[in-house]
Amino acid sequence: MRTLLLSTAGAGVLAPPEREDPGFELGGPPPIDGGGGRDDDGDDDGNRGSSGADGQGSHQEPEAFSIGLLEVAFGLLLVAICTLFLTFLAASLFLRRSSVEWPPPGTPRVPGGLWWSTLILLVSSAAMTRFQSVLRRGDRARARRWLATTMGLGFAFLLAQGYLWRELIAEGLQTSNAYGTIFYSLTGLHAVHIVAGLVYVALVLVKLGRVASIDTARSSATFCGVYWHFMGAIWLALFATLSFLH
């Protein structure tokens, strides 16, 4: 018995004291893990910290750029017009290369009115640019004035073309002449498209006066501006071709 008591006392002296965990008490709740563990519902705490109140992540994918059916149709229209004019220009260059003498004998010189027509169309394109700029700022009244100015300059361009044709016919430039065929075909085709553009400009002008909000007319105004500038660019190409052909 004495030996057993000494052995027990010696073990108590030699055994190191147990270290108490300050954050844990017997019978208390388990320690809380501050890491990115999983909660009782099985959700990842790390992922929950990056999600919003609605359960969706704060990072959202950017919206994809979409092109509507109207934009596609308008683009195809411009491509068709460009192809038409390129076909006529190619035929004009072919006639020039196949002719022994160019321009044919007796062909009158292109009058200076062609330069005035070009200047008028350039000014109308500048007015259209101003119209689009004012419309973006929401000034309906000034936008309609600039669009009406563009329309007036478009009519002035057609009058200048008509005077030019009359002068050339009076000087003897007929369609039986190869150069006359080229000139009247190219300028007449362009004039037809200018008339179509003026009809569109008039419709946009009326729409801007009737709609309650100009936001509903912005897409029509954009198409109108693109078409008008496009016809101006085509005219510059025709002007350079006609000057070169002569």
The pLDDT value recorded for residue 246 is 58
- What percent of the chain is helix, strand and coil (3-state, nearest 5)? 70, 0, 30
Q: What is the pLDDT along the chain (246 residues), one digit of tens a residue?
A: 444 433 444 444 444 445 444 444 444 444 444 444 444 444 444 444 444 444 444 444 444 444 578 888 888 999 999 999 999 888 888 877 877 777 777 777 777 778 899 999 999 999 999 999 999 998 999 999 999 999 999 999 999 999 989 888 888 887 777 788 888 889 999 999 999 999 999 999 999 988 888 888 888 999 999 999 999 999 999 988 877 665
Q: Write down the domain spans for the chain.
A: 109-245
Rg value, the chain, Cα: 41
pLDDT of residue 55: 42
Query: What's the pLDDT score for residue 67?
Result: 58
Max CA pair span of the chain:
148
The architecture CATH gives domain 109-245: Up-down Bundle (1.20)
pLDDT of residue 176: 76
Phi first, then psi: what are they for 181, rounded to 5°? -60, -45
How much is the pTM?
0.68
How far is residue 135's CA from residue 119's CA, in Å, rounded to a whole number?
Answer: 25
Cα 167 to chain center, whole Å?
Answer: 41
In this prediction, residue 245 carries a pLDDT of 60
